[in-house]
Amino acid sequence: MKMSHFIALSLGTLPGLSGLVNAAGVTTEKVDPALQNTVQTCAACHGANGRSIAPTFPNLAAQTASYIEAQLKAFKDQTRGDPDAQAYMWGMASPLSEAMIGELAAYYAKQAAAKGTGSDSALIARGKEVFEQGVPAAQIPACATCHGAHAQGMAAFPRLAGQHAPYLLKQLIVIQSALRNAPVMHGVVKELTRDQMLAVAAYLESI
């Protein structure tokens, strides 16, 4: 190993260094080996770079950092307690330190979003209407008000665009029944019918 590489590697392991200046004077981003290892574990279900293949496992890529952070803390302190959260995520989140949770959130927020899929255009059109206009007769507000015009999310309001429809549907069901504790969303979806849930999930998966 060249001496300059050796020095760079040793410096890279010092805490508190967010970047290094290499021999050519170019700042390179520090890649935390602990983060790399953890991300490999997560990839078994959430896919490489947070774009998952199986619809039970939500995409994490391009999700907002503050939402990811809040969810990991809720799994860790066991306040997000729907059955799949318990079965899959309580054990995964329990060993994560606060610092690692922050790093994971920043990592996934930076990854390129999953591409939309779906072909049932009538269902998708009905879902778009729910998303953009809500259901005024049932006093359901437009989802876009909080989740963004393109469902891109913002801070505590999660990105929903390109998310797997079966995952979204399941979350709407467990939020409505209060198995998953999400007070704001619970109020919003109290009167949403199963058909409207299916439609809005199909729309969101398609964008």
- Which positions lie near ligand HEC, rule CB under 6 A? 38, 41-42, 44-46, 56-58, 60, 68, 70-72, 82, 84-85, 88-89, 92, 104, 130, 140-141, 143, 145-147, 156-158, 160, 168, 170-172, 182, 184-185, 188-189, 192, 200
The nearer residue to ligand HEC, 113 or 182, going by C-beta atoms, is 182
Question: Shortest gap between Cβ of 186 and ligand HEC (angstroms)?
Answer: 9
The nearer residue to ligand HEC, 32 or 82, going by C-beta atoms, is 82
Contact call for residues 85 and 175 (beta carbons, < 8 A): no
Amino acid at 50: G
The nearer residue to ligand HEC, 8 or 92, going by C-beta atoms, is 92
CA 133 to the chain's CA centroid: 24
Amino acid at 129: E
Question: Shortest gap between Cβ of 100 and ligand HEC (angstroms)?
Answer: 8
HSE at residue 191, side-chain half, CA atoms within 13 A, is 9
Question: Shortest gap between Cβ of 126 and ligand HEC (angstroms)?
Answer: 12
The nearer residue to ligand HEC, 46 or 51, going by C-beta atoms, is 46
Cα–Cα distance for residue pair 157/63, rounded to 1 Å = 10
Q: Which of 5, 29, 26 lies closest to 17 in space, CA to CA?
A: 29
Question: Shortest gap between Cβ of 1 and ligand HEC (angstroms)?
Answer: 31
Question: Shortest gap between Cβ of 80 and ligand HEC (angstroms)?
Answer: 7
What six digits make up the tokens of 66?
């503050």
The beta-carbon contacts of 39-46 under 8 Å, at least 24 apart in sequence, are: 39/104, 39/107, 41/92, 42/92, 42/104, 45/88
Distances (CA, A) of 170 to 14, 88, 132, 165, 196: 43, 15, 21, 9, 13
The nearer residue to ligand HEC, 20 or 129, going by C-beta atoms, is 129
Question: Shortest gap between Cβ of 98 and ligand HEC (angstroms)?
Answer: 13
The nearer residue to ligand HEC, 21 or 106, going by C-beta atoms, is 106
Cα–Cα distance for residue pair 14/30, rounded to 1 Å = 10
